[in-house]
Amino acid sequence: MIQKLSWALVALVAFLWIGQLFLPGDGVNFVTAIVVYLIVWWMVFFCVLPLRVQSQQEMGDIEPGSEPGAPADPQLKYKFKLTSTIAAGIWLVYYVVFEFQLLSLDMFPIGPALTPVQ
């Protein structure tokens, strides 16, 4: 059940990406959506990498010629799925906030005032 919900979340994000190709607007465009998702995906991936790691030394099965601290089973498929689901959730929050302009960069008083050129 959880796995189906996580893949449904990833599918929703993919559907929204494709929708950005056909919907003009001032919100999130297609390229920005992909770039933000990839950045979030890699950041989450590096946070997820240490989960469920047991070294060869802890497992008692050291492969000759390898580092004893190397993971015995890195479980990369599990980490890929978990990362994709978490990144899709974070991206979905980003999409809703910026597409519906709940938050705008103009709201923050940093840098020079940005006024449209006429």
The dihedral sign for the CA sequence 28, 31, 35, 38 = positive
pLDDT digits (tens, 9 = 90+) for 70-95: 888 888 999 999 999 999 999 989 88
Q: Where are the domains of the chain?
A: 2-60+71-102
Whether 10 and 37 have beta carbons less than 8 Å apart is answered as no
Residue 109: the pLDDT is 74
Q: Which two tokens mark 117?
A: 């050129």
Backbone angles phi, psi at 15, to 5 degrees: -65, -40
pLDDT digits (tens, 9 = 90+) for 25-47: 667 777 888 899 999 999 999 99
The strand pairing partners of 71, in sequence order, are 55
17 versus 66: the higher-pLDDT residue is 66
Residue appearing with tokens 């990498």 = 49
Chain mean pLDDT for the chain:
83
